[in-house]
A and B are shown apart, each in its own frame.
Chain A
Amino acid sequence: MIEITGLAKRFEVENPKKLSEQEKKDPRLKGRYFQSVRDVSFTCQSGEVLGLLGPNGAGKTTTLRMLSTALRPDSGSVTIDGQDVLANPNVARKKIGFLSSSTGLYGRLTGRENISYFGELYGLSKSTINARIEEMADLLDMQSFLERRAENFSSGMKQKVSIARAVIHEPSLVVLDEPTTGLDIMATSTVMEFIQRLKDKGTPVIFSTHHLDEVQALCDKVTVINQGETVFNDSLAAFSALSDGQMHKSFLKTLSTESQEKSNVVNL
């Protein structure tokens, strides 16, 4: 089980004069700091798939980066199976598999070398790595290109290898940051099947996306982030119930209730 409470992260603004008009209007800008994430909380049980939604710049990527220990939050806590991630990042890292759409591969290494390099970084033995690669190569249909250099891969091949790389150490949590953005339909369905397989195995998955159909197909829980704060956090059923099963409207509703409250405050 994964529990995230009161996560916050601010970044120093290098040159406040360079910000655009719209950026200056953002309520998260406070002096020399930009409060990218202000208060994000959600939980995810084992076997659940949690969809993280939110407009561009809402703080989704920052949240997931904190979850995957790439960034250190200013406040809040992250626990995986009761273990404090922030206190013990290197232990937590072994439990997390992370993948984003912008993740690259080492072009001059073959697919197999890419996967086994990360396997070795995670401290796995050579035989374990080879066995798991064989297993995943069959599963993801990678046998035909595993020995070729990654620089010539199509986006689908890359994504398959990236998936294998992300789960080579059999993580107890998989974090995906917009895993389908910029992929063609074939590659997208590979990712979707992969998430479904993890779900069947009981591995919790947290992924951010802009595609509501993916949420509908896979997720058990939905969390919506807007301007660095959690504005919705409940089951998929509760989410679609917001507007009679129309996902787009539900999403817009979660955002608008937020802004309505805000404007009320301003009016008062």
Chain B
Amino acid sequence: MWLIFKKEFKELLRDKKTIIFMILLPLLLFPAIFGVGIFFMSNAAEKAENEILKYAIVGEAYAPDIVESFAEASEKFELVSVDGAFENESDYATLIKNETLDFVLVIPDTFDADILASGQHKIGLYLNDAGLNKVYGRVAEIIDVYMDEFQLAAFTELGLNEAQQEALLKPISIEKQNVADDREVWGERIGGFLPYFIFILCLQGAMAPAADLGAGEKERGTLETLLISPMDRYKLVLGKFFTVSAAGIITALITVSSMAVWGIVLSQGMAIEFVVEVMSMIGIVDFVLIFLMLVPVVAVFAAILLSLSIYARSFKEAQSYMGSLIMVVIFPVLIAMMPGVELKGAWVWVPLTNVALAMKELFKGTMDYFALFGIFTSTAVIAIGLIMFCIHWFNKEKVLFR
């Protein structure tokens, strides 16, 4: 059996395709995607922040101070004179759409510093808000100065002290006290999609070798020679089974650790502390438990994949069978992500879903460790059943010589 495992694994490692999918892709592609994404995001944000905005003001005569402030901030704003073509809202829209202007500020004729007499002022800001932009924030930055000034003047005139001012601005404030600790909060968020991610990765990683070890062997014509060697069938199956399982687990481990490492590298500084904090909260035991639960799950995947693969006539056929298996796996995991589904009652007995839920609980630190035993056992029983089926399948002439 180990002889077969050793040979299959050696062959696996020599396959460029497998190496790319199993190691290189998770190692480089994910950080590449994240990196490029973050690069473009931060680039765009920076651009929106530093771009000189072209603007026009309607009713500038009513608020000369504001006009003056915009003119002073010439490194951020550029006044464009658009005399004449400037009557109503549709004109603003046209000018903004053809990119003559970035925004138009409309100051009402009632604008006045004495807000107690005039009431609230409404300044119109016309802009194209469809894409990423910081127009509102940058305009508000300048207007806010006047807002505070007016507010203060009004309070002074009314003769209110600071406490009264605060109460007037916000008479009642609700203060939220979260009894869940950080771990539970983050566990709920990360622990929800982590099993989904890991399951798919395990399946993906096991898929290529499984197709190769079953249907591939059939296609190459090596299966028959293998079958007539004096090696017990169950040993053949187990050798192949362990290879497929190992490939699945290795892929998942590499991907997760690659994500963790690159995550730390890319989000330097403050984020490191956060990651370290989360990691330290979870603890080694829980990590080991998560890994242990993964073992029977991968065994289930490997047994199913190997059975499909040996049934298929060719590599291609095997791959199309396996493609549909992904949908089957995603479903129970998606259920675990739905709000309201908890590791209670009947859900403890739903295969895959229970493991996904248990992983989440472990992440959150709210795991009922007795349930773990049941989940582990039931998944292991399913896995062993499937392996037995796989061995039985390997003994059927109808399957081997299709």
Chain A interfacial positions (CB closer than 8 Å to B)? 11-12, 65, 68-72, 90-91, 93-94, 96, 98, 100, 102-109, 113, 117-118, 120-123, 149, 165-166
Contact partner of A71 (CB less than 8 A), chosen from B230, B231, B397, is B397
B3 near A: Cβ within 8 Å? yes
Q: Is the CB of B224 within 8 A of A100?
A: yes
| A22→B225 CA distance, assembly (Å) | 32
Question: A165 — nearest CB in chain B belongs to which residue?
Answer: B225
B10 near A: Cβ within 8 Å? yes
Check A103/B230 contact, CB under 8 A, given A71-B397, A108-B11, A109-B7.
no
Question: B231 — nearest CB in chain A belongs to which residue?
Answer: A121
Residues of A contacting B221 with CB < 8 Å?
100, 102-104
Q: Is the CB of B3 within 8 A of A121?
A: yes
Check A69/B228 contact, CB under 8 A, given A104-B220, A106-B222, A107-B220.
yes
Nearest CB in chain B: distance from A35 CB, A: 15
B324 near A: Cβ within 8 Å? no
Question: A72 — nearest CB in chain B belongs to which residue?
Answer: B397
| A118→B397 CA distance, assembly (Å) | 22
| A241→B371 CA distance, assembly (Å) | 81
Number of contacting residues on B, CB 8 A?
Answer: 23
Q: Mark B10-30, 1 if CB is under 8 A from A, else 0.
A: 110011000000000000000
| A6→B401 CA distance, assembly (Å) | 22
Nearest 4 pairs of A and B residues by beta carbon:
A104-B220, A104-B221, A93-B230, A108-B14
Question: B400 — nearest CB in chain A belongs to which residue?
Answer: A70
Question: B402 — nearest CB in chain A belongs to which residue?
Answer: A14
Interface centre among B221, B224, B397, B398 (most CB of A within 10 A): B224
Check A12/B222 contact, CB under 8 A, given A90-B230, A90-B232, A106-B11.
no
Question: B4 — nearest CB in chain A belongs to which residue?
Answer: A121
Interface centre among B4, B7, B228, B400 (most CB of A within 10 A): B228
Q: Mark B220-257, 1 if CB is under 8 A from A, else 0.
A: 11101111111110000000000000000000000000
Residues of B contacting A72 with CB < 8 Å?
397
Q: Is the CB of B225 within 8 A of A93?
A: no
| A134→B2 CA distance, assembly (Å) | 26
* 27 A-B residue pairs with CB within 8 Å: A11-B398, A65-B401, A71-B397, A72-B397, A90-B230, A93-B228, A93-B229, A93-B230, A98-B224, A98-B225, A103-B222, A103-B225, A105-B220, A105-B222, A106-B11, A106-B220, A108-B11, A108-B14, A109-B14, A117-B7, A118-B225, A120-B3, A121-B229, A121-B230, A122-B229, A123-B230, A149-B14
Residues of A contacting B231 with CB < 8 Å?
121
| A68→B227 CA distance, assembly (Å) | 10
Q: Is the CB of B229 within 8 A of A109?
A: no
Check A98/B11 contact, CB under 8 A, given A71-B397, A103-B221, A106-B222.
no
Interface centre among A90, A104, A149 (most CB of B within 10 A): A104
Residues of B contacting A93 with CB < 8 Å?
228-230
Nearest CB in chain A: distance from B232 CB, A: 7
Interface centre among A69, A108, A166 (most CB of B within 10 A): A108
Check A94/B230 contact, CB under 8 A, given A12-B398, A120-B3.
yes
Residues of A contacting B4 with CB < 8 Å?
121
Question: A93 — nearest CB in chain B belongs to which residue?
Answer: B230
Residues of B contacting A65 with CB < 8 Å?
224, 401
Residues of B contacting A70 with CB < 8 Å?
224, 227-228, 400-401
Residues of A contacting B222 with CB < 8 Å?
103-106
Residues of A contacting B10 with CB < 8 Å?
109, 113
Check A98/B3 contact, CB under 8 A, given A105-B222, A109-B11.
no
Residues of B contacting A106 with CB < 8 Å?
7, 11, 220, 222
| A86→B186 CA distance, assembly (Å) | 62
Contact partner of A68 (CB less than 8 A), chosen from B3, B7, B228, B400, is B228
Residues of B contacting A123 with CB < 8 Å?
230
Question: A114 — nearest CB in chain B belongs to which residue?
Answer: B222
Residues of A contacting B14 with CB < 8 Å?
108-109, 149
| A12→B4 CA distance, assembly (Å) | 32
Residues of B contacting A118 with CB < 8 Å?
225, 229
Nearest CB in chain B: distance from A11 CB, A: 8
| A61→B15 CA distance, assembly (Å) | 32
